[in-house]
Chain A
Amino acid sequence: MNVKDVIKILNGKLVLGEKRLNEEVNSIGATDMMSDILALSEPGMLILTGNTSPQSVRSAIVTDLLGLVFVRGKNIPPETIKMAKDSDLIIIKTDMFMYSACGRLYTEGLRGIDERD
């Protein structure tokens, strides 16, 4: 599954990262806690979050994520966008709530890193 597929499944919108639409999503997770991103993510991961503060982007940069999916259709502050622009991150936005967004992606076959064999 690539980034484009994820956007389609979530009925989402690409905010940043047009050049990376065809990249594979091999690893995915969801959290609002910065420490979870820092502790439990792995490089190249896509993370769903309701936390649109610049810290999410900073955590994503530090941990070499593929990008972030902001759920619940929240407004993304300009500082957040600006910071992400300076990096190479993919930013996706969806109106879905966290639970539904995760459920849709899971149903389509994307498993969490804890379920990987």
Chain B
Amino acid sequence: MKETNCKLIKYASIFEDLKAEEIMTKNVSYLFADKEIVQAKELMKVKKISGIPIVDKEKKIVGIISIEDIIKALENGYINEKIGKIMTRDVRCLYLDDNLPIIVEKFERLRFGRFPVINRQGKLCGIITIIDILHKILEKFNLIYIHDKNRNIRLNDEISLITGEKLTQDKAEFHYEIVSGEISKAGEGAAILKGFLIKKGIDKDIARRVGVATYEAETNVIIHSESKGDIFCFLVNDRIIVRVIDNGIGIENLDKAMKEGFSTAPDYIREMGFGAGMGIPNMKRFADKLVILSQRGMGTQVEMVFYMNKNKNEKTK
């Protein structure tokens, strides 16, 4: 058991900068201690929840009532008593800035189904269940997202983010330099790359997918990075690997950038038909694998893998 604990917490440390505030359900149901237990029962039924935090007038947490408490109250016939009489007063909570390893450790050790999340003043801000954690982690895995110090090391080195193999930039079969801020050139590198692949005898559909995804990555460098950038393409066995790298300002919020329709592009860019907030979602749609590594002020590195013998047509529709 002990060993499992350690492992789980170790795994959780991959997401050590994932905070309770990001994981929690913010719209949390709560009750006051002077309400009757039967009201808690009704609320649980309606909201399909199994525990309710109890707060005072300032929304500071004073207790918690669980479905087990309700069952006991029903069995022993005191369902009309006040919640304050039976609630658990020693409430184990999480703080807004507790990170995932701390959260996982608490779930493992105490085996509760839920933890209220409070700020440093003890005020209720949200609640976290196992499902909330699962939800957030799956969302994160939507793209592999490397946090912590590794990110600095990884940015700008020549090891594939996806496969770990060495991709020496001067051995790239294709290189194109992206000019900083030159919006009229957006897509030029992608178009040349596509032509290059066709000449190499690469399947038309695959060359098209590479072209589209690279177009988006290239445009992002031009619009957002405030720096020049590079497109490298490697042909490795059955794969085409494209890396689009810049040393610019980085992506501030990768989660938001992943969402369709989210854009920080200025108006003049939008007038040119860009900035629809589809850049990264399109890359994801057309590449077989995508990793984006970015940190504020540290640049952005996009790596995409396209398998030559796999048709992804069904996914592009």
Contact = CB atoms under 8 A, between A and B. Distances in A.
Interface of A: 32-36, 38-39, 43, 49, 51, 53-56, 58-59, 61-64, 79
Contact of B282 (A39, A55, A58, A64): A39
B215 A59 contact: yes
A54 B190 CA distance: 14
A34 B273 contact: yes
Secondary structure dominating the interface of B: helix
Contacts of A35: 216, 273-274, 276-279, 282
B219 interface: yes
Given A43-B204, A62-B187, A79-B184, A51 B272 contact: yes
Interface of B: 184, 186-188, 190-191, 194, 204-205, 208, 211-212, 215-216, 219, 272-274, 276-279, 281-282, 285-286, 316
A55 B212 contact: no
Majority SS at the chain A contact face: helix
A35 B208 CA distance: 14
B272 to A, nearest CB: 5
Contacts of A64: 204, 208
Contacts of A39: 212, 278, 281-282, 285-286, 316
B274 A62 contact: no
Given A38-B212, A38-B282, A39-B285, A62 B190 contact: yes
Contact of A62 (B205, B208, B272): B208
Given A39-B282, A43-B204, A62-B208, A56 B190 contact: no
A1 to B, nearest CB: 23
